[in-house]
Amino acid sequence: MESYFLFRGSQRVTLKIDDMRVNRISRIFQVNAGSLFITDSGCFCSLDLSDHSHYEVHGEKPGDSKDPDRAS
């Protein structure tokens, strides 16, 4: 079964293809689902996931906002 290595900072996890879902990844890495994206070492497309490849997780932490109109 295919597996993927995801990391954010020092946190690293291995996920199977069935676990490569936005809601699952955002919970594991504690980022907002709406801001979640992953990258590899080059141009990335989610259709190009390669078995046993490493992907970096990016996104805003819950409570973080770049919206200047949002009250703190």
Specify the long-range contacts of residues 34-43, CB closer than 8 Å, at least 24 apart: 35/59, 35/60, 38/6
pLDDT in the model for residue 25: 96
Cα(61)–Cα(72) distance, rounded to whole angstroms?
15
pLDDT in the model for residue 27: 96
pTM exceeds 0.75 for this model: yes
pLDDT surpasses 80 at 18: yes
Residues 6+ apart with CB under 8 A from 65: none
Name all domains of the chain by residue range, CATH numbers in brackets: 3-58 (3.10.20)
Q: What average pLDDT is seen over the chain?
A: 86
Q: Which has more confidence, 55 or 63?
A: 55
pLDDT in the model for residue 47: 66
pLDDT in the model for residue 72: 46
